[in-house]
Chain A
Amino acid sequence: MNSTAMSLKASTDLHQVSDRLSFSAMRNWKERLIEAVLLAAAAVSVLTTLGIVYVLLSESVRFFETISIIDFLTDTQWTPLFDDAHFGIMVLVSGTLVSSFVALVVAIPVGTVIAIYLSEFADSRVREVAKPVLELLGGIPTIVFGYFALLVVTPILQVVLPGLPGFSLLSAGLVMGIMIVPYISSLSEDAMRAVPMSMREGSYAMGATRLYTAIHVVVPAAISGLAASYILGISRAVGETMILAVAAGMQPNLTWNPMEPAATITSYIVQVALGDLPHGSIGYQTIFAAGLTLLLITLVFNILGQWLRAKYRENY
């Protein structure tokens, strides 16, 4: 009697234990499944990169089966859709570099001045107004900036520079510069605010003014952050599309003169995409070769940025 009760009790215990174990095992299994699903979501970004590389490379390989890389890099004409087709990418690269240069001549000084002003001079009330305004400026769609460049800025510039044509790299580049200002000012300001207060106090204690301290202590201390913000600005300028497609004209033109209209890598891609090129034609492949060139240019700048960052790593 007694022993049966015992064994009964033991078996219930056993039962309970196995229940708990199975619950725990199931719970564990479910946890693993969830982790796998989340990992898959995180892996989408890697797949995106692989997809970009795959698409650009595979179409470019087909392109370079027809056109030699030497011609691609050295030809001075870009007329892929003509009967007498030429594929000199430098024509598009020149437009990209000239417009980016104009943009950076505006964006780097203005962005840096704003960053120094906000981080070292402005009181908190000015900052609280200025930062959202800059954020809004950064949020304006590029097509609206394109409209602004073509229909507002170009006519104003034509008053000052009567020879300026209706489409120009100058006008597009200037507006692109304004667009990039918030990126540079916000990242640079973050970098400067990360400089410890004790370093500034050291300078003020020597009798330095705010500007002297900003230029001789804060900027050198934040230099890698500033460099990173400039690199981001360059990437934005090189990859910007709509402002150029609208305001810089889309004629391929090998030029280093910002007063002329010219196509860029990006605006060429837009131009082709607007047309009706059959999938698999050489014209279709050119946009991938152009896209690959664009990606390589931005990649070079990004590597440069990371190198600068490592070289001037802050040690405070």
Chain B
Amino acid sequence: MKALTTEEIRAVIARGKLRDNLFKALGIFCLSFALLVIVALIADMVIKGSERFTLDFFLNFASRRATQAGILSAWVGSLLVMFVTALAAVPLGVAAGLYLEEYAKRNWITTVIEINITNLAAVPSIVYGLLALGIFVYQFGFGQSILSAGLTLALLILPIIIVSTREAIRAIPAMIREGSMAVGATRWQTCRYHIVPYAMPGILTGVIIGLARAIGETAPIITIGALTFIAFLPPAPFAGEPAAGLFDWVMAPFTVMPIQIFNWTSRPDPAFEVNAAAAGFVLMAMVLSMNAVAIYLRYKMRKNIKW
């Protein structure tokens, strides 16, 4: 076979470059489409929900009349559930990450734990709801309470926190560890005074991403039987008659933002669409600002690595 002439080669190149450019256009189109969805989503909720962005909307309980209904019990419920979730998931996740990176020996126990964490991350969230329904609600008798919900979401985000803790710890160079051990510090002292503080920004990023995921989760909380219509707040400590205990709110029934949105979305009366849009926007604002903080933190971290 004879070699290609210059013209033939140039034709091949022109075809190849055309395909390159077509693909580039396709890639930009797909990316813009993703961006467009976010913009459309937010714009739709802002426009539809605009008439509900009043103080009353935040301070009213749910109501049968759309115009009077608000999200007070929902956002209070979300905050309280997040508080329990963070209280349970952060120490557990950081401790587990610390163990796996700094203490664990290469044996079958470690392998089982690691495989297990990977697989848990792929378990559908509603299955966590079933676990919580069987164990927390009935077996432990916590009922359909803030405690049950908080612990459920804690288990759900535990893999996220463990993985980000491990990544943050792994980024610390070995010389920090060796330096500390060399002056006679124990493993725990090394962890407490060096490893954990240095890994803190990374851990914090993971915690925020985990909590942002948890605050938007609906399915597991519906599964444990959270109510959709709550016209009261959990008892504040020492308030009321007889005075409530410090932790009575933990066992109270509750609702959360996503469930309130679900409830309003599934009503046939279109007046509630407005409420759903407004509440959806509030939830989006919460989640997106948490994510934005996490992305910013990660960006900062990459900028000023100290070693």
Please list the residues of chain A having a beta carbon within 8 angstroms of any beta carbon in chain B.
27, 30-31, 34-35, 37-39, 41-46, 48-49, 51-52, 54-56, 58-59, 110, 113-114, 116-118, 121-122, 130, 132-137, 139-144, 146-148, 150-152, 178, 181-182, 207-212, 232, 235, 238-242, 245-246, 266, 269-270, 273-274, 279, 287-288, 291, 294-295, 298, 302
Contacts and interface: CB of A to CB of B under 8 A. Distances in A.
A141 B27 contact: no
Given A133-B34, A133-B35, A269-B223, A44 B92 contact: yes
The DSSP consensus for interface residues of chain A is: helix
Those 9 A-B pairs whose CB atoms lie nearest each other, nearest first: A239-B124, A117-B27, A141-B216, A55-B134, A41-B95, A38-B99, A241-B219, A209-B16, A42-B96
Nearest to A48: B155
Interface stretch (B170-178, B246-254, B279-287): B279-287
B125 interface: yes
Residue from B99, B138, B159 whose CB has the most chain A CB atoms within 10 Å: B99
24 contacts: A34-B188, A42-B96, A42-B104, A42-B162, A44-B158, A113-B26, A114-B27, A133-B31, A133-B35, A133-B38, A135-B291, A141-B283, A142-B218, A144-B284, A147-B276, A147-B277, A151-B265, A211-B19, A212-B16, A242-B258, A246-B262, A246-B265, A246-B266, A291-B126
Contacts of B41: 140, 144, 148, 152
Contact of B130 (A31, A181, A211, A291): A291
Interface string B82-102: 000000000111011011100
Contacts of A146: 262, 265
B59 interface: no
A143 B283 CA distance: 10
A87 B92 CA distance: 40
A183 to B, nearest CB: 11
Given A31-B186, A144-B216, A45 B124 contact: no
Contacts of A136: 38, 288, 291-292
Interface string B148-170: 00000001001100100000000
A294 B34 contact: no
Contacts of A287: 130, 223
A91 to B, nearest CB: 18
Given A117-B24, A182-B34, A211 B134 contact: no
Interface stretch (B50-58, B63-71, B111-119, B230-238): B111-119
Given A44-B92, A209-B16, A242 B100 contact: no
B37 interface: yes
Given A45-B158, A239-B127, A143 B116 contact: no
Contacts of B222: 270, 273-274
B131 interface: yes
A269 B291 contact: no
Contacts of B133: 55, 273
Interface residues of B, number: 87
A257 B261 CA distance: 29
A152 B44 CA distance: 8
Given A34-B188, A209-B20, A211-B23, A147 B280 contact: yes
Contacts of A245: 219, 262
Contact of A117 (B30, B113, B129): B30
A269 B126 contact: yes
A147 B265 contact: yes
The DSSP consensus for interface residues of chain B is: helix
Contact of B288 (A139, A151, A239): A139
Given A48-B155, A209-B16, A238-B124, A114 B34 contact: yes
Contacts of B288: 136, 139-140
Given A113-B26, A266-B126, A269-B223, A137 B34 contact: yes
Contacts of B28: 117
Contacts of A178: 34, 37
A294 B13 CA distance: 50
B187 interface: yes
B284 A242 contact: no
Interface in B106-150: 112-113, 116-117, 119-120, 122-131, 133-135, 138
Contacts of B262: 143, 146, 242, 245-246
B212 to A, nearest CB: 6
B130 A143 contact: no
Interface string B280-307: 1001100110011001000000000000
A209 B19 contact: yes
Nearest to A178: B37
Contacts of A211: 16, 19-20, 23
Nearest to A139: B291
Contacts of B123: 52, 239, 295, 298
A132 B103 CA distance: 34
A103 to B, nearest CB: 14
Nearest to A37: B95
A144 B23 contact: no
A209 B22 CA distance: 13
Nearest to A284: B133
